[in-house]
Amino acid sequence: MKCLKIRKNKSLLSKERCEIILKITDIKELEKKAIQVRKGIIEAVYSNCSGHPGGSLSIADIMTVLYFKELNIDENNPKWEDRDRLVLSKGHCSPALYSCLANRGYFDVEKLKTFRNINSNLQGHPDMNKVPGVDMTSGSLGQGLSVANGMAIAGKMDNKNYRVYCILGDGEIEEGQIWEAAMTSSKYKLDNLCVIVDNNNLQIDGTIEEVMSSYPIDEKFKSFGFQIINIDGHNIQEIIDAFDVAKNVKGKPTCIIAKTIKGKGISYMENQVGWHGKAPNEEQYKTAIEELGGAK
């Protein structure tokens, strides 16, 4: 892995920072980091008795690989113009984003306990104007891919090498705007764009099939001109390999369909639609932290 990257301002990542990044690319280290990300999610939702733990936990492994291996970013320079971009289109799953940003060093991990507090910048939906490291304000479902397209087109127009990642929910892709945006991704041959669909098969009102089936998701995106990659969204190696393949796709955008489990990592939350948008009580919180290996 090339670590010492010359930035536009000719600065270099420190030797210490390089060593941390190199170490975190190890599979076991990434798995450990994913546990820390999950703890942060639980802490955030529990602390203010509200939030969306289910979908946040289902993308925790994907987000961990992005923030601790894949994304070319600098926590000391959140607005670096050559950074990779991430659009969390399913913005209600902000606890996963905040936990990654905190563990990466954009702000103190203790701040996760202020989630959704009226005086906190860590609101239920991420705000790019208030939270360092957030590339796009999101929350209204169906809009993220359109924004990611704009970022990817801008990158090509400016001859930039950054990549754009967009995380969609499988319930979210019931929104028609997603498919209008998908046509745009394909028309402009956005090979610097990687879409990730969190396919946990549950949305607020039930299973995807019960509400409005979007299956087969892979065939739909393929018909819109995307390169398709199907993976287990909790297998770190498969996630890494998928991103490696995506970076080498030319002339078309990539869509990674990640099969995941809603509430992954917390036994009583897994595959339970009721944990889409509610917080654990004190007993449930303690159980969750214990299952994740304790407070440390």
Domain borders along the chain are 16-291
CA distance 44 to 91: 15
In which element (H, E) is residue 174 found? none
Percent of all residues in the chain with a pLDDT value above 90, rounded to a whole number = 89
Tokens 């987000």 -> residue? 63
Whole-number pLDDT of residue 10 = 35
CATH fourth-level superfamily of 16-291: Thiamin diphosphate (ThDP)-binding fold, Pyr/PP domains (3.40.50.970)
Whole-number pLDDT of residue 19 = 52
| Sequence-separated (6 or more) residues with CB below 8 Å from residue 125 | 91, 92, 94, 137, 138, 139
Whole-number pLDDT of residue 296 = 53
The amino acid that residue 222 corresponds to is K
pLDDT single digits (tens) 184-234: 999 999 999 999 999 999 998 899 999 999 999 999 999 999 999 999 999
Whole-number pLDDT of residue 9 = 38
pLDDT single digits (tens) 12-26: 455 555 555 555 669
Contact present, 18 and 4 (Cβ < 8 Å)? yes
Whole-number pLDDT of residue 146 = 98
Average of per-residue pLDDT across 177-182: 98
Residue 8, pLDDT > 80, answer no
SS3 254: strand
Whole-number pLDDT of residue 25 = 66
Whole-number pLDDT of residue 268 = 97
Q: Model's pTM, two decimal places?
A: 0.91
